[in-house]
Structure 1
Amino acid sequence: MFKLIEKIFSWCYPLFRKWGFGDTISAYLSLIINILILSVLVYFIFLFFRFLLSRIMEIVAKRTHTKFDDLLISNKTVMYISHLIPLLFIYKSVPIILKEYNYWEGVFGKLIGIYIILLLLWIVRTIFNALRDHLKCMPEYSDKPIDSYIQVIMIILWMVGVTVIFSEVFEIKIEKLFATLGAISAIILLIFRDTILGFVASIQVSVNDMVRIGDWITMDKFGADGDVIEINLATVKVRNFDYTTTTIPTYSLISDSFKNWRGMQISDGRRIKRHVLIKSSSVRFIKNEELEDLMKIQLITDYIIKKKTEIEKYNLQNNIDKNLSLNGRHLTNLGLFRKYITKYLENHAGLNKDMLLVCRQLQPTSQGIPLEIYVFSKDKQWENYEYIMSDIFDHIIASISYFDLELFELPSQGKGVFVED
């Protein structure tokens, strides 16, 4: 084939010599004509192969169920390959056209060789991008840091490509060039420090399953509180709930502390852990005559009857002096209120009864006695979760007065309320 091309490109010079032009003018005119012919040939070769490859890929894409070939088309892989074929034709044709110009033949040969290497790297990049998009569409890989691995592979390929380009331009053997790079490896490690740390972190994050795309994470150091939308070699992008985006260095996920809410999201409930402060001075024993009114509260009617019988039996058996409430056993308003809240929580439709459900008293403080609710809501969606939690505490605060208890509040600083802008 290239013998035919050589004959096509060699007919100009004898023709111009036959017409009486000098050797130099004939050579330049022949070179210009050959370049024009080469340009036309390359253009038609490009059009032909672009049409051919596009048609082939379209037919393949229609007949296959996989989306990978569609992604190759959308990432313009076919277009770049159609550029590569005429470029290879030019690379083979340059020595024929410039055989009388050794210097320019070497220069253009190197430039086209560099362009071919860069184009090959770009084609590989589009293929990997298509592979990345394809894997992200698969459920088993959608939450994996595919971008990090693709970036590492491309960095290695770009380093190899740049090494080959230097070898071609300066005519240095690749073995010697790699030996030189080995000698300056400390500088290379310093330059690519973040990349290396990010690569190691990406592997550890993936292997240990610390973070997936779509996870809700909280990292106070960087002000991140939202869903992970991207994990790549250098950074992790988090879309916060206020729709801002926080960028976190990938290696910070293994060097710093963060909270991943995935365990809550895949569990059967979302925890509610909150307390109210009961004023200590309002806690007291309940008198027998008060129990008649409290027995009207249906949730604890059976409990009061049972405890009342049990206490009276104990006090009678032990000959307790009932003139003083401190003697013997008695119900307290706080204990009875705690039992009422437990029964209320057990009957609440929004809570998961198969998970921990506790109404407990914490260590008393200078601000009162904390009464904590520790339960799990069935609905884990944020707004519904907040509604369930507010509904529970609305009821708790409203029902405190029925047990003659008081919430702790800081004393007012005056009759008016001062609001600072």
Structure 2
Amino acid sequence: MSRISHLFYDYLISNGASETLAKYCNMLVLLIALFCLLLIIYIAIRKILITAFHHVSKKSKTNFDDLLVANKAPRNIAHIIPLLISLEFIPIVFTDFPLIEKVIETGLKVFAVILTLWIVRSLLNTLKDYFKTLPRLKDKPIDSYIQVFMIFAWLAGIMFVFAIITGITIWKFFTALGAVSAVIILIFKDTILGFVASIQVSINDMVRIGDWITFEKYGADGDVIEINLSTVKVQNFDKTITTIPTYALISDSFKNWRGMENSDGRRIKRAIIIKQDSIKYLSEKDVHQLQKIELITSYLVTRQKDIDTYNQDHNIDKSLLLNGRNLTNIGVFRKYIEEYVKNHSGINKDMMIMARQLSPTPQGIPIEIYTFSSDKRWQNYEYIMSDIFDHLLASVPFFDLELYELPSKL
């Protein structure tokens, strides 16, 4: 090795060059030669690795190797051998310049740490992309875990770099680090909270990528498109993006619509308000007129027969409608609503169908429909609900009822 390190030096000295000039020229020639050698080796190794990966990918059934290439893993791995050669030959190149040799060796060791981090990052990103292709993992917060590993890797890398530059052993560095652990915890508070939250969100299956969530505190109402260590990204239905701190998912209340989407129907829960002074008992003539409505014909015939039988058995004086048992227009209308909803093609007949009367309000009597549409898609759901209420609002006058409207100011 000593002959190689002074090969050009001896030649220049023998040709009458000064000692200083010979040293610098010798160093420069060896440096250029080493650089060319490293470049050739790097290009060759990189080409071999990429070719090998492409060859394997054609025979492989998974896309893991393709993802390795996409995340530059072969390119980063190709730096390893040139780096090892550099560490071996730098002392030869700078044999007459020990100070420069020390600085460059330190720089190469720092680069070795950074290169290791690059390779780890490439592998982790490859795993992340691969896991997202698996059906059982594609909705899990993989980004959070990858970010945690990378944070620990970068922290370890920074510690090693500091130890290399300062000459302090890594164990002494860890000892000194313990003294400032409180400061580190304060600095990485959000990261730690996000990490804990990501684990809880994943274990408890609170949110998955693709879930529709509503988070009023942050103005979020849409689909979760990303879950990482510090934030959850929600694409709202107006195509805006809302960013929510991950730890807010376990510290605040939000609504996840996954249960509805996995069920057999989407709930319809809406009321129409009837004016109280339009409610009345039905006379025999009124009942006869309403029997023309096909959906409730059978009900009215049977119901009126039962009422007449009861009133006759109890000798009820029917000269006044208040006496005995009677049908009311709001009660018959409620039955009509129920029958209409049951016969609507957009309603899931296997789930609850109910028309109920709510407590009176200053505006009137709310009649609420509680049922489930068979189509859960938003646009179709809104169409089904609107179609039902279009019909019911138009049918109110047939029962001598009136809808409440807030009087307009003159």
Aligned to 1:355: 351
Q: Does structure 2 retain, via aligned residues, the 8 Å contact 1:88–1:116?
A: no
2:64 to 68, 71, 83: 68
For 1:138 and 1:157, the matched residues in 2 are separated by 25
Q: Within the alignment, does 1:122 sit opposite 2:126 as a pair?
A: no
Aligned to 2:133: 137
For 1:128 and 1:265, the matched residues in 2 are separated by 33
State the 1:199 CA deviation: 0.2
User: What amino acid sits opposite 1:171 in the alignment?
Assistant: G
For 2:131 and 2:404, the matched residues in 1 are separated by 57
For 1:376 and 1:85, the matched residues in 2 are separated by 66
For 1:113 and 1:249, the matched residues in 2 are separated by 38
SS of the aligned residue for 2:355 comes to strand
For 2:12 and 2:32, the matched residues in 1 are separated by 16
For 2:63 and 2:157, the matched residues in 1 are separated by 29
Q: Within the alignment, does 1:402 sit opposite 2:398 as a pair?
A: yes
For 1:227 and 1:314, the matched residues in 2 are separated by 58
Aligned to 2:236: 240
Task: Using structure 2 for the length normalisation, give the TM-score.
Answer: 0.98
Aligned to 2:388: 392
Q: Which runs of 4+ in 1 moved over 3 A?
A: 6-10
SS of the aligned residue for 1:360 comes to strand
Task: Using structure 1 for the length normalisation, give the TM-score.
Answer: 0.96
Aligned to 2:377: 381
SS of the aligned residue for 1:272 comes to strand
Q: Within the alignment, does 1:230 sit opposite 2:217 as a pair?
A: no
Note the alpha carbon deviations across 1:189-234, whole angstroms, 9 max, x for none.
0000000000000000000000000000011111100000000001
User: What amino acid sits opposite 2:388 in the alignment?
Assistant: I
Q: Does structure 2 retain, via aligned residues, the 8 Å contact 1:268–1:378?
A: yes
User: What amino acid sits opposite 1:218 in the alignment?
Assistant: T
For 1:199 and 1:412, the matched residues in 2 are separated by 56
Q: Does structure 1 retain, via aligned residues, the 8 Å contact 2:213–2:255?
A: yes
State the 1:22 CA deviation: 2.5
Aligned to 2:202: 206
Unaligned runs of 5+ in 2: none
For 2:256 and 2:350, the matched residues in 1 are separated by 23
1:156 to 152, 164, 181: 152
How do 1:94-133 and structure 2 match up within 5 A?
94-133=90-129
For 2:144 and 2:6, the matched residues in 1 are separated by 52
Q: Does structure 1 retain, via aligned residues, the 8 Å contact 2:375–2:381?
A: yes
2:7 to 11, 21, 32: 11
Note the alpha carbon deviations across 1:82-138, whole angstroms, 9 max, x for none.
123212211221112122222111110000110111011011101111110110011
For 2:207 and 2:21, the matched residues in 1 are separated by 70
Aligned to 2:193: 197
Q: Within the alignment, does 1:294 sit opposite 2:294 as a pair?
A: no
Q: Does structure 1 retain, via aligned residues, the 8 Å contact 2:5–2:95?
A: no
Aligned to 1:257: 253
For 1:141 and 1:9, the matched residues in 2 are separated by 56
For 2:277 and 2:67, the matched residues in 1 are separated by 72
State the 1:362 CA deviation: 0.1
For 1:291 and 1:225, the matched residues in 2 are separated by 48
Aligned to 1:177: 173
Note the alpha carbon deviations across 1:375-420, whole angstroms, 9 max, x for none.
1000011110000000000011011100000001112222xxxxxx
Aligned to 1:86: 82
Q: Within the alignment, does 1:167 sit opposite 2:163 as a pair?
A: yes
Q: Does structure 2 retain, via aligned residues, the 8 Å contact 1:144–1:213?
A: yes
User: What amino acid sits opposite 1:346 in the alignment?
Assistant: K
SS of the aligned residue for 1:401 comes to helix
Aligned to 2:306: 310
For 1:265 and 1:171, the matched residues in 2 are separated by 60
Structure 2 CA distance for partners of 1:274 and 1:143, relative to 1, 3 Å: same
User: What amino acid sits opposite 1:33 in the alignment?
Assistant: V
Q: Within the alignment, does 1:333 sit opposite 2:329 as a pair?
A: yes
For 1:271 and 1:8, the matched residues in 2 are separated by 84
Note the alpha carbon deviations across 1:153-174, whole angstroms, 9 max, x for none.
0000111111111111001011
State the 1:9 CA deviation: 4.0
For 1:239 and 1:352, the matched residues in 2 are separated by 29
SS of the aligned residue for 1:144 comes to coil
Q: Does structure 1 retain, via aligned residues, the 8 Å contact 2:68–2:74?
A: yes
Aligned to 1:34: 30
For 1:106 and 1:325, the matched residues in 2 are separated by 110
For 2:350 and 2:5, the matched residues in 1 are separated by 86
Unaligned runs of 5+ in 1: 415-421
SS of the aligned residue for 1:363 comes to coil
Q: Within the alignment, does 1:49 sit opposite 2:45 as a pair?
A: yes
SS of the aligned residue for 2:78 comes to helix
Q: Does structure 1 retain, via aligned residues, the 8 Å contact 2:210–2:223?
A: yes
Kindly report the root-mean-square deviation, in angstroms, between the aligned alpha carbons of the 2 structures: 1.0
Aligned to 1:418: none
Count matched residues: 410
Q: Does structure 2 retain, via aligned residues, the 8 Å contact 1:60–1:69?
A: yes
Identity level (%): 53
